[in-house]
Amino acid sequence: MYQSRNPQAQSQNPHSQGRTTRAKKPEKERHFGMNEKLLELKIKWSNHITWGELYGCLSSDQKVLQLAWKDTQIILFMMTLINAQMTVSQLRKRPNKKDKWIKQAFRDQPFKRLKIPNFIDMYNHLMNSVD
């Protein structure tokens, strides 16, 4: 399983192309073939993972990249084509959540420019307000 070491230090690159699916609910994610270790991260370890951490692995058929990225919660993705290490700098609003990892990332700033994975940015801008 891949884990990022410091997504804030990674360079900004142009958008990749590919198909993105966001896994919605843990009990349903098993039916879509989501990796059990990534599911466990979301279900059991979300409050213990630093904001911006990225984990990933390939599906059992080696054709789908499965990713878990920590924002306010852990977000699970499945992709057919992507470079998961590419980032883009975005102005982010600090969530109201009192999570220590959110406080660590934003400190006392209500807004902060943070590097987020390119696939998250693509999803946010191309999902047509459907989540």
Please compute the mean of the pLDDT values over residues 6-28 and round it to a whole number.
45
Total-model pTM: 0.55
Q: Name which of 11, 44, 32 is nearest 77 in CA terms.
A: 32
pLDDT digits (tens, 9 = 90+) for 57-70: 888 888 888 889 89
Q: Name which of 66, 79, 68 is nearest 122 in CA terms.
A: 79
Every domain of the chain and the residues it spans: 2-126
Which tokens hold the place of 124? 């946010």
- Residue 30 CA: distances (Å) to CA of 20, 40, 77, 100: 17, 11, 13, 29
pLDDT for the residue numbered 9? 34
pLDDT for the residue numbered 6? 41
Question: What is the C-alpha separation between 1 and 41, in angstroms, rounded?
Answer: 12
| Beta bridge mates, 77 | 22, 67
